[in-house]
Amino acid sequence: MSTIKTVIIDDEQLAIDIIRNYLAPHSDIEIIAACSNGFEGLKVIHEHRPDLVFLDIMMPKLNGFEMLELMEHHPVIIFSTAYDQYALQAFEQNAIDYLLKPYAQDRFDAALEKARKQLRESPDTPEIVNLIKYHQQTGDLHRVVVRHGSKINIIPIERILYLEAMDDYVSIHTDQGKFLKQQTMKYFDEHLPGKEFVRVHRSYILAVSQLAKLEPYGKDSHVAILKSGGQLPVSRNGYARLKQLLGF
């Protein structure tokens, strides 16, 4: 590979400038873009399919882990982060290299050489896929990020009314419409706050705040009447969970 197409994504201009300066002696690097937020970064990655990305983790609008989840193309990535024990544990668990801010030129060059080696030998990035899975398994869920075409929606869990299983997807019903996420109900059941969301049926997870009343429906089942007027089936196990949580 003669030229390595590179993108820098960081919300701090100083950090971008430092990476530019550290890359200056490396003639095989072509910086095709420097982005100050994850939304812009995703667009550039989708359009230009770079070989290498320098990616900050702690960004306000869309963090690095959320970006990974939304990427359709996974380049080789060198992560950069301020001290964050969870992030470091995630990287080390999945053999991912990272730069801990502030870092010196020699540490930067070592990470870059490792990226070059990966691009020469195996541009596929299974470690990134493993990192996404690790993050999903261990991270707390405070919001859900979904892609719809070229548009990215960030859904705070407070906006969720209920979730519905849809084959390999989950339909997230919110006060602003519904969105499809390629994820499992098991994942949401395990990561949404247990005092705010209840699996009332194998196909439905209900935001408890949206429950108006429960009514019997046949033998050993109930129906949840939502404040919006909608209705969800409640299985026997779902009823037991609601009963335990709400104390009725």
Could you give phi then psi for residue 46, rounded to 5 degrees?
Answer: -65, -40
Could you give phi then psi for residue 12, rounded to 5 degrees?
Answer: -110, 125
Asked if residue 6 lies in contact with residue 27, where contact means CB atoms within 8 angstroms, the answer is no
Q: What is the pTM of this model?
A: 0.79
Say how far residue 27 (Cα) sits from the centre of its chain: 34
Q: What is the DSSP letter of 83?
A: S
The CA-based dihedral angle spanning residues 123, 124, 126, 129, taken in that order and rounded to the nearest 10 degrees: 100
Question: What's the rounded Cα separation, in Å, for the pair 77 and 96?
Answer: 9
- Describe the strand order of the beta sheet including 76-81 as a list of residue ranges: 29-35, 4-9, 52-56, 76-81, 98-100
Chain mean pLDDT for the chain:
89
Specify the 3-state DSSP secondary structure of 205: strand
- In the chain, the domains with their CATH numbers are 4-137 (3.40.50.2300), 146-246 (2.40.50.1020)
Question: What's the confidence (pLDDT) of residue 138?
Answer: 66
Neighbour tally for 88: CB within 10 Å = 15
Question: What's the confidence (pLDDT) of residue 123?
Answer: 62
Question: What's the rounded Cα separation, in Å, for the pair 180 and 183?
Answer: 9
Say how far residue 135 (Cα) sits from the centre of its chain: 8
Question: What's the confidence (pLDDT) of residue 225?
Answer: 96
pLDDT class of 180 with cuts at 50, 70, 90: very high
Asked if residue 76 lies in contact with residue 123, where contact means CB atoms within 8 angstroms, the answer is yes
Report the percentage of the chain scoring pLDDT > 90. 61
> Which amino acid belongs to residue 90?
A
Question: What's the rounded Cα separation, in Å, for the pair 154 and 61?
Answer: 9
Specify the 3-state DSSP secondary structure of 109: helix
Average pLDDT over residues 24-47: 95
Question: Nearest 5°: CA angle at 103, between 98 and 104?
Answer: 125
Mean pLDDT comparison of 81-90, 134-143, 168-177, 212-221, highest-scoring range: 168-177
pLDDT class of 181 with cuts at 50, 70, 90: very high
